[in-house]
Structure 1
Amino acid sequence: MRVELRPIRLDDERRIRGFDGLRAIAFIFVFISHKFHQGTYGSLGGDGVMLFFALSGLLITRILARTRVAIEAGETTTLAGLGRFYLRRSARIFPIYYATIGFFLIASLFVHFDGFEGGAPLAMLLYATNIYVITTGHWVGHFNHFWTLAIEEQFYLLFAPLLLFTPSKAARHICVAFVVLGLVTQASLEWAGVSAKVVGLNPMTGFGYLALGGLAGLNLDRRVPGWLVSTPAQTAAALALLIVPLTVLKDEIVWRIYAPAIAVTAALLVLQIAENQASRFVAFLETRPLRSLGRISYGCYIFHEFVHFYDMEAVVRKFGITFATPDWISAPIELVATVGLATVSWRFFERPIMAWAHQVTQKVAPVAA
Structure 2
Amino acid sequence: MRLDDERRIRGFDGLRAIAFIFVFISHKFHQGTYGSLGGDGVMLFFALSGLLITRILARSRVAVEAGEVTRLAGLGRFYLRRSARIFPVYYAMIGFFLLASLVVHFDGFDGGARLAMLLYATNIYVFTTGHWVGHFNHFWTLAIEEQFYLVFAPLLLFTHSKAAGHICVAFVVLGLLTQAGLEWAGVSAKVIGLNPMTGFGYLALGGLVGLNLDKRVPAWLVSTPAQAIAALILLVVPLTVLKDEIVWRVYAPAVSATAALLVLQIAGNQGTRFVAILETWPLRNLGRISYGCYVFHEFIHFYTVEAAARKFGVVFEAPDWISAPIELVLTISLATASWRYFERPIMAWAHRPTRKAAPAAA
Q: If the length of structure 2 is used for normalisation, what is the TM-score?
A: 0.98
Q: 39-48 or 67-76: which moved more?
A: 67-76
Contact 1:114–1:142 (Cα < 8 Å) also in 2 = yes
Structure 1 CA distance for aligned equivalents of residues 189 and 290 of structure 2: 27
Asked if the contact 2:64/2:360 (under 8 Å) is kept, the reply is no
Q: CA–CA distance in 2 between the matches of 1:123 and 1:161?
A: 23
Question: Which residue does the alignment assign to 2:101?
Answer: 108
In structure 1, which of residues 361, 365, 368 is the aligned counterpart of residue 360 of structure 2? 368
1:336 maps onto 2:336 in alignment: no
The partner residue of 1:300 within 293, 299, 306 is 293
Cα distance in 2 between the residues matched to 1:358 and 1:136: 39
Q: Where in structure 2 are the equivalents of 1:137-148 lying within 5 Å? A: 137-148=130-141
Query: For residues 263-322 of structure 1, what are the alpha-carbon distances to aligned partners after superposition, in whole Å with 9 as ceiling and x for unaligned?
Result: 000001111111111111110000000000000000000000000000100000011111
1:125 to 95, 105, 118: 118
Within the candidate set 306, 310, 326, 1:317 is matched to 310
Q: Which runs of 5+ in 1 are unaligned?
A: none
- Pick one of 249, 253, 270 that aligns with 1:256: 249
Q: 1:197 aligned to 157, 174, 190, which one?
A: 190
Which residue number in structure 2 is paired with residue 219 of structure 1?
Answer: 212
User: Structure 1 residue 59 and structure 2 residue 52: aligned?
Assistant: yes
Question: CA separation of 1:188/1:39 partners in 2, compared to 1, >3 Å: closer, same or farther?
Answer: same
- Identify the match of residue 170 of structure 1 among 163, 171, 182: 163
| Counterparts of 2:169 and 2:358, CA distance in 1 | 32
Question: Which of 215, 220, 229 is matched with 1:236 structurally?
Answer: 229
> Residue 44 of structure 1: CA displacement?
0.0
Equivalent residue pairs, number: 361
3-state secondary structure, aligned to 2:111: coil
Residue 39 of structure 1 deviates from its aligned partner by: 1.2
| Aligned residues of 1:18 and 1:286 also touching (Cα < 8 A) | yes
Looking at structure 1, the residues matched to 124 and 356 of structure 2 have their Cα atoms a distance apart, in angstroms, of 37
SS in 2 for 1:119: helix
The amino acid that maps onto 1:213 is G
- Cα deviation for residue 365 of structure 1 reads 2.9
Asked whether 1:44 is paired with 2:34, we answer no
Percent pairwise identity: 84
Q: Could you tell me which of 25, 34, 37 is aligned with 1:32?
A: 25
Query: What is the deviation of 1:360?
Result: 4.9
Deviation at 1:226, TM superposition (A): 0.6
| 1:3 Cα deviation from its structure 2 partner | 7.3
Aligned-partner residue type, residue 368 of structure 1: A
1:58–1:213: 8 Å Cα contact kept in structure 2? yes
Rounded to whole Å, the distance in 1 between the matches of 2:2 and 2:353 is 26
Gaps of 5+ in 2: none
Counterpart amino acid of residue 106 in structure 1: L
Q: Write the distance in 1 (CA, Å) between the matches of 2:290 and 2:2.
A: 29
Distance 2:333 2:358 in 1: 42
Give the Cα separation in 2 of the matches to 1:71 and 1:272.
30
Q: Secondary structure at the match of 1:111?
A: coil
Matches within 5 A, 1:147-162: 147-162=140-155
Q: Separation in 1 of the partners of 2:289 and 2:356?
A: 28
CA distance in 2 between partners of 1:304 and 1:364 (Å):
40
Q: Is the Cα contact below 8 Å between 1:3 and 1:65 reproduced in 2?
A: no
Contact 1:3/1:168, CA 8 A, preserved across alignment: no
Q: 2:358 is aligned with what amino acid?
A: P
- The one of 254, 260, 276 equivalent to 1:267 is 260
Between the aligned partners of 1:265 and 1:96, the Cα distance in structure 2 is: 30
**Residues 300, 339 of structure 1: 8 Å contact kept:** yes
Instruction: Give 3-state SS (helix, strand or coil) of 2:173's partner.
Output: helix
Residue-by-residue CA offset, 1:88-144 (whole Å, 9 max, x unaligned): 000000001000000000000000000001211110000000000011110000000
2:239 aligns with one of 223, 243, 246: 246
Contact 2:209-2:264 at 8 Å conserved across structures: yes
Is contact 1:212–1:267 with CA below 8 Å preserved after alignment? yes
CA distance in 2, matches of 1:131, 1:139: 11
- Cα distance in structure 1, aligned partners of 2:2 and 2:170: 18
Q: Is the 8 A contact 1:81 1:365 kept in 2?
A: no
Cα root mean square deviation, aligned: 1.2
Instruction: Supply the AA of the counterpart residue of 1:178.
Output: F
- Distance in 1 (CA, whole Å) between partners of 2:103 and 2:284 is 39
Question: For residue 160 of structure 1, what is the amino acid of its counterpart?
Answer: A
**Of residues 336, 342, 348 in structure 2, which corresponds to 1:349?**
342
